[in-house]
Each structure stands twice: as structure tokens, then as C-alpha cells.
């Protein structure tokens, strides 16, 4: 299985699948925001950024899967999954244990060199409350589902990382 994961990481298909899953989740978040009218909170915006990191890793890996760029994409994938998992966990704790002294910011804080909330306000401007549970599915809130998503991304990324030293077997029809 590790050889198979190594082989997949050297092709474009798996990287494109990674990017497409993150894109589907981003589009779902935008559908919740703009169609259903659920305003994202600051933590939701940061979780979106982590998803964009996973999507960027998928695009970078698909560009050149047989070069060292694959390693950069894999590291970006792991970093984004870890950060997304951390943010989702923190967001879930705010929702499950509301405290007037532990709240999220009023607006997302982006670096001055990357003002995403100014460039794309329809995607990166927060208007909701982090402690509010406005959507539930199978008794889990949205940040709890994002814990599941980012944990899955992280598990797969670590499996792909572990598989990197296991080169695929060369199958030659005429050799012994």
C-alpha cells in the first residue's frame, strides 16, 4: 500500500483530487454563506484559509508531481491540515464551552501584505458569532465536521509522507 501511495503522489490525478475536494468544501462554505444566509465568523474565515492552503498544495503537487515541488506541496498540505485541525478544535471548544472572556475577534486579522478581506470581501469578511451554532448535521456543528475533514486530510497526508521512501516496483514484462 505504501508503494501505491508513493506512486499516486508522483502523478497528477491524486493531487488534482486533493485540490478538487478542497474546492468543493470552499464552494459549500460559500453556498452556506450566500444562499443559506449563514454568516461566517472569524474562526470560519481562518478555517477557509486552511482549506485554501490544502487546495494550493493540491495545485502545486499537480503542477510538477515528479519534482521537488512535490515535497513543498506535501509540506504545505500537512501544515494546512494541522492548522485547520487546530482552528476547528479551538472553534468547537468556543461553541461547546461558551465563555464571555474567551471570544473570537470581530474581524479577521490578515497581514498588511495580504489583505484578503479587502481583496475578496465576499469570501473573507466575517459577520457571525463564533459561539453560535447555526447549523447542525447528524448532531455535529460545522466546526466539528471540519475537525473530521482536517483530520482526514492530515491522516492521508501523513500516509503519503511515510510512503515517500517506498519506491514503486518496476514491472518489466521480460525481466526476471
Tell me: pLDDT of 117 over 80: no
Residue 49 to residue 119: CA distance in whole angstroms? 14
Active site residue 130: yes
Residue 12 to residue 149: CA distance in whole angstroms? 22
Tell me: pLDDT of 173 over 60: no
* pLDDT score of 171: 61
pLDDT digits (tens, 9 = 90+) for 76-102: 999 999 999 999 998 888 888 777 766
Q: Mean per-residue pLDDT for 47-71? A: 88
Domains annotated on the chain, with CATH: 1-164 (1.20.1550.10)
Contact 55, 151 (CB under 8 A): no
* pLDDT score of 4: 65
Active site residue 10: no
Active site residue 49: no
* pLDDT score of 152: 94
Nearest residue to 15 (alpha-carbon basis) of 52, 60, 78, 72? 60
Higher pLDDT: 75 or 128? It is: 75
- Could you tell me what percent of the chain has a pLDDT over 70? 88
Residue 23 to residue 17: CA distance in whole angstroms? 10
Q: Which member of 41, 133, 170, 171 is catalytic?
A: 41
Q: Which member of 10, 49, 104, 176 is catalytic?
A: 104
Nearest residue to 86 (alpha-carbon basis) of 50, 116, 53? 50
Pairing of strands 140-141, 136-137: antiparallel
pLDDT digits (tens, 9 = 90+) for 129-140: 777 777 777 887
Helix extents (H) in the chain: 2-9, 12-34, 42-63, 69-96, 116-119, 121-124, 142-163
* pLDDT score of 149: 94
* pLDDT score of 99: 74
Contact 107, 42 (CB under 8 A): yes
* pLDDT score of 166: 67
Q: Which member of 48, 86, 109, 171 is catalytic?
A: 48
Distances (CA, A) of 29 to 18, 34, 122: 17, 9, 11
Burial class from Cβ neighbours inside 10 Å (0-12, 13-18, 19+) for residue 122 reads exposed
Could you list the beta-strand ranges (E) of 1-108: none
Active site residue 104: yes
* pLDDT score of 84: 94
Burial class from Cβ neighbours inside 10 Å (0-12, 13-18, 19+) for residue 44 reads buried
Q: Which residues pair with 137 in a beta bridge?
A: 140
Amino acid at each position: 500500500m505504501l508503494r501505491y501511495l508513493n506512486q499516486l503522489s508522483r502523478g497528477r490525478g491524486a493531487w488534482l483530487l486533493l485540490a478538487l475536494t478542497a474546492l468543493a468544501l470552499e464552494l459549500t462554505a460559500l453556498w452556506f454563506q450566500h444562499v443559506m444566509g449563514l454568516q461566517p465568523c472569524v474562526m470560519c474565515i481562518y478555517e477557509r484559509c486552511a482549506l485554501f492552503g490544502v487546495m494550493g498544495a493540491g495545485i502545486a503537487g499537480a503542477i510538477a508531481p515528479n519534482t521537488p515541488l512535490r515535497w513543498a506541496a506535501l509540506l504545505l498540505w500537512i501544515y494546512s491540515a494541522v492548522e485547520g485541525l487546530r482552528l476547528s478544535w479551538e472553534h468547537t471548544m468556543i461553541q461547546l464551552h461558551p465563555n464571555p472572556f474567551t471570544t473570537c475577534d470581530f474581524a479577521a486579522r490578515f497581514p498588511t501584505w495580504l489583505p484578503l478581506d479587502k481583496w475578496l470581501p465576499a469570501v473573507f469578511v466575517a459577520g457571525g458569532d463564533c459561539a453560535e451554532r447555526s447549523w447542525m448535521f447528524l448532531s455535529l456543528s460545522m466546526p466539528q465536521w471540519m475537525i473530521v475533514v482536517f483530520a482526514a486530510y492530515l491522516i492521508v497526508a501523513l500516509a503519503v509522507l511515510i510512503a515517500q521512501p517506498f519506491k514503486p516496483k518496476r514491472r518489466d514484462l521480460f525481466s526476471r
